[in-house]
Chain A
């Protein structure tokens, strides 16, 4: 591998001042499950590695009336095992439980996963339908942005060189809303999603008071399928409407041909999965 200097800051402030100082020449390494691949393939060649895996101040899961806050360095294993996440935000629990492999989940962090910004990220669609926001810090500054604004392209975030994602905040969800995450893979084992769908529905009898749909692996970033959502909101759900909405979601996506699947195949899967996800989220037996 390339010639690099290893830095091990002890606090968040130290990280931020290193980022200010080294900017483009530095890369943060947390769990390493994405960056190590790139270092080995030499598609990333920083002069400095800022190693933050053991920074406990960013390793937490907190819940109160303001919602859920997860520190960027929280490992997926801990998020998957959290009873708070499982009970209050089950769609996130479902997603992190199928992310990577059990070994990757022991090491990989939610902050690293989001900053890696893969269009296939299992965290993307659920966080979009949950209306999550992320806290971004730089030396002397901090701001909060919707997770949707974080992703700007495959492998690209809106972060500047001196900025770091430190926390994910998920607001309390509407009472009675139910979320489902479905991931289509080539095999039953660990794999990247060919298509993934996150759906959250709030039913009032058989009317969908609110519907949110997000798709992964079928566009440059995880996306909300807003036209598909509009077709459902405020309406009685029946097979015809679900078909129409699922078809709309497939049209809103821009899937590609790659080693895992083709664009056409992905569109068919989107249609099937969106229909399935909405039915499960709405507890429909149609």
Chain B
């Protein structure tokens, strides 16, 4: 057991962890941030995706201890924390049926957020490739892709 400080969605948390606790377990069990999902628990499905210093990582494959001194952003952290206004990608997912069961959705949104920061005007092919590590058991890939493209347009037009 050791005590560490994790910075999640801009807030510092004191947590007690074992060396082998994964980041996703600590987020869900210790911090109650259950937006991040555990699905395959092996790094293959992307449901556990969070942003680490703005870059997507598989939180089920990361030691919580390795997240010390870094900024973790979960799905709970991308809406405006004051006003509750949704991130444009979240808006598109709501408006254009980007979710069915919702398990893959947080991962899809966060991976897309990182994609659109690197590439604000992706092709459909680029979106599908960027999301190829996020699996959707409901098979909603077509709509998810449309949501990402729609949100890209929104973000560009708001700039």
Interfacial chain B residues near A61, Cβ < 8 Å: none
Q: A32 with B63: in contact, given A37-B43, A104-B58 (CB under 8 Å)?
A: yes
Tell which of B20, B43, B55 touches A33, judged by Cβ atoms closer than 8 Å.
B43
Q: Quick one: CB contact mask for B20-64 with A, threshold 8 Å, 1 for yes?
A: 101000000000000000000111101001000001111011110
Q: How far is the CB of A54 from chain B (nearest CB, A)?
A: 8
- Give the CA-CA distance A8 to B19 in the complex, in Å: 11
Q: Quick check: A190 and B62 within 8 Å, CB to CB?
A: no
* Interface status of B66 (Cβ within 8 A of chain A): yes
Q: Quick check: A103 and B58 within 8 Å, CB to CB?
A: yes
- Give the CA-CA distance A164 to B92 in the complex, in Å: 47
* Interface status of B159 (Cβ within 8 A of chain A): no
Interfacial chain A residues near B49, Cβ < 8 Å: 103
Tell which of B42, B55, B66 touches A40, judged by Cβ atoms closer than 8 Å.
B42
By beta carbon, the residue of chain A nearest B19 is A6
Q: Quick check: A33 and B58 within 8 Å, CB to CB?
A: yes
* Interface status of B134 (Cβ within 8 A of chain A): yes
Tell which of B2, B56, B129, B131 touches A6, judged by Cβ atoms closer than 8 Å.
B2
Interfacial chain B residues near A104, Cβ < 8 Å: 43, 58, 133
Give the one of B43, B55, B57, B131 with max A CB within 10 A. B43
Q: Quick check: A49 and B57 within 8 Å, CB to CB?
A: no
By beta carbon, the residue of chain B nearest A77 is B55
Q: A190 with B132: in contact, given A102-B111, A104-B58 (CB under 8 Å)?
A: yes
Interface size on A, residues (CB 8 A): 28
Q: Quick check: A107 and B57 within 8 Å, CB to CB?
A: yes
- Give the CA-CA distance A6 to B1 in the complex, in Å: 10
Q: How far is the CB of B110 from chain A (nearest CB, A)?
A: 10
* Interface status of A2 (Cβ within 8 A of chain B): yes
* Interface status of A148 (Cβ within 8 A of chain B): no
- Give the CA-CA distance A101 to B132 in the complex, in Å: 6
* Interface status of A51 (Cβ within 8 A of chain B): yes
* Interface status of B7 (Cβ within 8 A of chain A): no
* Interface status of A100 (Cβ within 8 A of chain B): yes
20 A–B contacts, CB within 8 A, in A order: A1-B18, A3-B18, A6-B63, A29-B63, A31-B61, A33-B43, A36-B62, A37-B42, A37-B43, A40-B42, A49-B19, A53-B66, A100-B133, A103-B46, A103-B134, A104-B133, A106-B57, A107-B61, A189-B132, A190-B44
B residues bordering A, Cβ < 8 Å? 2, 18-20, 22, 41-44, 46, 49, 55-58, 60-63, 65-66, 111, 129-134
Other 14 A-B pairs with CB < 8 A, given A8-B65, A33-B43 = A4-B19, A6-B2, A6-B20, A32-B62, A36-B43, A37-B43, A51-B65, A102-B132, A103-B57, A103-B58, A103-B133, A189-B132, A190-B44, A190-B132
